[in-house]
Structure 1
Amino acid sequence: MDLLLGIDIGTGSTKGVLVDAAGTVLASETVAHTMDLPKPGWAEVDAEALWWREICEIGTRLVAQVPSGGVVNAMCVSGVGPCLVLCDADLRPLRPAILYGVDTRATAEIDLLTVEFGEQAILDRAGTLLSSQAVGPKLEWVYRQEPDVFERAAGWYGSNSYIAAKLTGEYVMDHHTASQCDPMYATRDFEWNDEWARRICRHLPLPRLVWPGEVVGTVHAQAARETGIPAGTPVVAGTVDAYSEAFSVGVRNPGDQMLMYGSTMFLVQVIDDYHSDPTLWTTAGVERGSLALAAGTSTAGSLIGWLQNVTGGAPFDELMAEAAAVPPGCEGLLMLPYLQGERTPVFDPQARGVLVGLSLRHGRGHLFRAAYEGISFGIRQILERFDDAHTAKRTVAVGGGLRSPVWAQAVSDITGRVQLVPEQAIGASYGDALLAAIGVGLVPPETDWARIEREIVPDPANRARYEDLYGTWRELYPATVEQVHRLAGGGPD
């Protein structure tokens, strides 16, 4: 029996699947974890003690469940990103990994590099303006704030490329991840922007570029002993988790888009031609030569979890029943869900949550519905920018947040989009297994394991109410930004 391993390192857990060549999941394993928030605006992970340890744990568990006669033909790992892991020559991380856009420490370096290279030049060459999502400013931050660490570094990695290096010894980075290492990658040309990349990396070599579905090497003996994965198993590059998840549910053609309901919301839309927008991220796609637009919020499910905790920790189902009992529009209550700053489209690490219209008649259910609706208004704002590049043909919804019918329905009602919910909801690790199968030629490149199970359809009765509220919601950020920044103390907290 031909088998594949797919493993994804997420924000809240690492998940792995053992899959056959038809896409049937034979086993799955999950290990929960948390990120570290050691200072205001910082978000980190110990890459070796947490990411690599969990790869070893999950690999060992899954290989133990390979049926008699089964052979692991290939494996692929995806992960949160873009991140920055700086390692010495022996692949030992020299400091905790700096996470994606939720880590906002490099604001001064964003400004510095923007002035140095020019805002319009960055947009033209990288396709994306610098923000907390970009890796270039994070590298510059380490160089300026931790020079000893930077000097001792021999290589720099994302989450999946760090694991690929630990498994195979190869120093690579997939094109998609590289395209989020702004301003160091020329997205239109699918290659390193050599001049800017070498300026920022200084003595650090640039990783060899590969596509997410390419085999980069095989599991070496030491990695085999630690992970339980047989030595010689081909390793496919993988990519950032959201893109593996989009791939897993068939978001592969121009006009396909994915909404990922998680701790944050992440959106991916495949486009047919190069398009840059200062409020979005233009990236390389998963498949060779493809392009995509992306966007992400800084909070989503994490906001709901926070609300659950501060309102007494009631069971989730009870809270959803209360939110569902509140009419759409939340009886005049609106929320800006920017409790951890915001990424697209405002790119403001000093943004904060705002609650408007609160009265004594509002209860706990109103707060939860207002949070879901505030997140959904933000999604509409992003999707309108996506449409400027390529009108969506289909929208696929994924992620644990779909457990909340209030949230999913609010997104459809507010955006006017039908959302397709796939039968297989495992996520990025399932896309990794498919990338592995395609990468070693076990299945044809056009293979798609996704099957749609149901649709979430907009309720026309709510359209007029939400249309009016959306206009008011869009006015809240510009109307309060000065006061919010003042309260934030001029910094990220």
Structure 2
Amino acid sequence: MLNFGNMHNSVWIGVDIGTTGVRAIAYQKNGVNLCDSNEFYPLETPYPDWAEQNPEIIYKATEKVIRDTANTLIYKGIPVSGIAISTVMHSFAPANEKRELLSNMITWADSRSVEIVNELKKDIKLTRNFYEKTCCPVHACYPFLKILWLKKTFPDVFSKMKYIYSLKDYVFEKLTNKWVIDKSSASASGLYNAHKMDWDEDILSFADIRKEQLPPVVSTTYSQKLTPDAAQRLNLPKGLPVVIGATDGVLVNVGIGAVKPGQLSATIGTSGAIRMLTKNPKVDKKNRTWCYNLTDDMWVAGGAINNGGIIMRWMRDKICHYNSRRLDDIDIDPYDLMTLKASKIPAGAEGLLLLPFFTGERAPYWNSELRGMFFGLSLNHSRSHMIRAAMEGICFSLNCVLTALKDFGKIEDIRVSGSFTKSTLWLQIISDIFGENITLPQNSEGAAFGAAVLGFIASGEMNSISDTANLIQSKKIYYPQKENFLTYKELFDIYNNLYQKLQPEFTRITTYQNQMYK
């Protein structure tokens, strides 16, 4: 039996392992952040459609932030009750019979399977059947399609693949020596039957893999003991409970208290998403949304976009050419400088639009052949206009997802989280584009606290995720400005028309780009 320590004064370390960085935060049950630590790592994109990472680099960064957080708690004389994990979705890596990985971890942003996706989509009945079973639209982000791509492109590697890993079970195994996957990560794979709550035998057969190659599926509150070796590296007690947790996307709602009917979460980090809780798996008539598991009796319906903060990083590096070292010398954050420049430009960027599809797109289009485009450029436009158009374009993309989710029910409250919440300008832009009030919670690090909440539930100190509803208070509410809303409404119509009318050209340019690297 696991020892959960003193439940009355427990502190859980919530670990949020994201696309480009990991954060460990020590939380009390009331949501108070006692201390935290961050580390960053690269996303390798050497060619169009590629997006890989070295999982060992990610794991070492994860160990470092946990150890640093633990050391701070030790210094303060505060014992740790356990660790709970949140990871990014849709990762895949094959492993041989010795459980040695045969490749890097292929991430959600990788779209090398796009040709296979297009072939499958020709069979509308088949793809709808897969969607209704899994609540995952057929798209290159899902491990199901990555496995099909591996089989077709590297049959020798596929034949050596005895085990199938995601980032979650890779990290959990290193910490506990137990190879399992949580229901949340499994339900985001495209291989999991959302209604039977198990791996789908028909889909596994279609992919030519066996159930034995996949980890056993467990609850998101499942826990195991920290191994003695891992405990020594982390400077934590051996046998400390490690709760497997869920994926970052679904945990955000818990972490920011968006757990009541009509409450939505809107997130922009590296990517972006809008989500709402539901008691049962939900599918959309137009295949626009996904639905993933959170706890045994709770699901999260929503849609994620590929291109969020990753676009702003591109703007910083490729367009603005901001040298971080030089800006550090004058104590200016490059993103703060970009926001300042964008704030001088009126809403609508004087007719400049960005379609932010640099890495294809997930919801609501599920089209990996999309590419980014500035539209409406004229000689009066500057870098400042481009920065503002980028911020607005990302919000237009999220607004497309919001439109789909409105079919699931009335919207009462939209809470925000992610790195974009540091920008008051960006928060006002999203309120103006949505035409909705936007609530900035006191805690905007949703996934890390959401993971910690699963730890508190596993230890019996919380009853359910709904306990967070009254814990997270509002820090500020942003109200849509009528004039800006009307400007964005007109531009959003142009934005949608561009997507619809440029479908053939998107396909042609993607094909052209891919041929350059063959």
Matched, 1:66 2:88: no
**Structure 1 contact 109–138 (Cα < 8 Å) conserved:** no
Whether contact under 8 Å (1:372, 1:406) holds in the other structure is no
Q: 1:55 to 1:487 in 2, by over 3 A?
A: closer
Q: Which amino acid aligns with 1:271?
A: T
TM normalised by structure 2 equals 0.88
Provide closer, same or farther for how the CA distance between residues 114 and 15 of structure 1 changes in structure 2, counting only shifts above 3 A: same
Give 2:203's match in structure 1, choosing from 196, 199, 223: 196
In structure 2, distance between residues paired with 1:175 and 1:391: 28
Q: 1:91 to 1:252 in 2, by over 3 A?
A: farther
Alignment of 1:69-468 (within 5 A): 70-100=78-108, 102-111=109-118, 118-182=126-190, 184-200=191-207, 202-203=209-210, 204-215=212-223, 217-277=224-284, 278-314=286-322, 315-445=334-464, 446-448=466-468, 449-468=471-490
The answer to whether the 8 Å contact 1:113/1:137 transfers is no
Distance in structure 1 (CA, Å) of the matches to 2:337 and 2:83: 40
Cα deviations across residues 391-416 of structure 1 (Å, max 9, x unaligned)?
22211101111223332211111111
Structure-2 separation of matches of 1:79 and 1:32: 14
State the TM-score, normalizing by the size of structure 1: 0.92
What is the alpha-carbon distance in structure 2 between the residues aligned to residue 332 and residue 38 of structure 1?
Answer: 33
Query: CA contact under 8 A between 2:273 and 2:303: conserved in structure 1?
Result: yes
Q: Which amino acid aligns with 1:341?
A: G
**Structure 1 unaligned regions, length at least 5:** none
The aligned amino acid for 2:481 is D
Q: Tell me if 1:53 matches 2:53.
A: no
Separation in structure 2 between the aligned mates of residue 456 and residue 211 of structure 1, nearest angstrom:
37
Q: 2:229 is matched by which residue type in structure 1?
A: Q
In structure 1, what is the equivalent of residue 44 of structure 2? 36
Native 8 Å contact 1:85 1:157 kept in 2: yes
**Partners of 1:114 and 1:161 in 2: how far apart?**
30
Q: Deviations over 1:196-251 (max 9, x none)?
A: 22442624433222222232x21122322333332211121212112222221112
Question: Is the Cα–Cα contact under 8 Å of residues 143 and 150 in structure 1 kept in the other structure?
Answer: yes
Deviations 1:173-204 (A, max 9, x none): 2222211111x212233322223224426244
The alignment partner of 2:336 has SS state of helix
CA 170–425 in structure 1, closer or farther in 2 if over 3 Å, else same? same
Q: CA deviation at 1:33?
A: 1.0
- Paired residues of 1:190 and 1:289 also in contact (CA < 8 A): no
1:286 partner SS: strand
1:261 Cα shift? Answer: 1.4
Q: Distance in 2 between matches of 1:158 and 1:272?
A: 26
Compare 311-320 and 164-173 and name the one that shifted more: 311-320
Deviations 1:458-483 (A, max 9, x none): 11222222222221111111222323
Which residue pairs with 2:5 in the alignment? Answer: none
Q: Pick which of 167-176 and 18-27 moved more.
A: 18-27
How far is the alpha carbon of 1:114 from its aligned partner?
5.3
Contact 1:2 1:70 in 2 (8 A): no
Contact 1:271 1:389 in 2 (8 A): no
Seen in structure 2, the aligned counterparts of structure 1 residues 26 and 126 have a Cα distance that, compared at 3 Å, is same
The 8 Å contact of residues 187 and 282 in structure 1, kept in 2 or not, is answered as no
Equivalent AA in structure 2 for residue 476 of structure 1: L
The Cα of 1:325 is off from its aligned counterpart by 1.9
Instruction: Output the amino acid matched with 2:467.
Output: T
Contact 2:135 2:292 in 1 (8 A): no
Tell me, in whole angstroms, the C-alpha distance in 1 between the residues paired with 2:507 and 2:161.
36
Structure 2 unaligned segments of length 5 or more: list them: 1-8, 323-333
Relative to 1, partners in 2 of residues 1:281 and 1:157: Cα closer, same or farther, differing over 3 Å? farther
Comparing 256-265 with 15-24, greater Cα deviation is found at 15-24
Determine if contact 1:254/1:272 at 8 Å carries over to the other structure: no
Matched, 1:484 2:506: yes
Supply the AA of the counterpart residue of 2:263: D
Q: Report if aligned partners of 2:349, 2:385 keep a CA contact under 8 Å in 1.
A: yes
Using the TM superposition, give the Cα deviation of residue 434 of structure 1 relative to its aligned residue in structure 2, in angstroms: 1.7
Letter matched to residue 86 of structure 1: P
Q: Distance in 2 between matches of 1:480 and 1:284?
A: 31
Q: CA deviation at 1:355?
A: 1.9
SS in structure 2 at match of 1:128: coil
User: CA 1:72/1:316 → structure 2, altered by over 3 Å: closer, same or farther?
Assistant: closer
**CA distance in 2: counterparts of 1:311 and 1:123, whole angstroms:** 39
In 2, Cα distance between equivalents of 1:196 and 1:488: 28
Read off the aligned partner of 1:470 and give its amino acid letter.
F
Could you tell me whether the CA contact under 8 Å between 2:421 and 2:444 is conserved in 1?
A: no
SS at match of 1:40: coil
8 Å CA contact 1:185–1:197 kept in 2: the answer is no
Distance in 1, matches of 2:231 and 2:96, equals: 21
Deviation at 1:306, TM superposition (A): 1.6
1:475 matches 2:497? yes
When residues 113 and 483 of structure 1 are mapped into structure 2, their CA distance, relative to the original with a 3 A threshold, is: closer
Shift of 1:273: 4.4
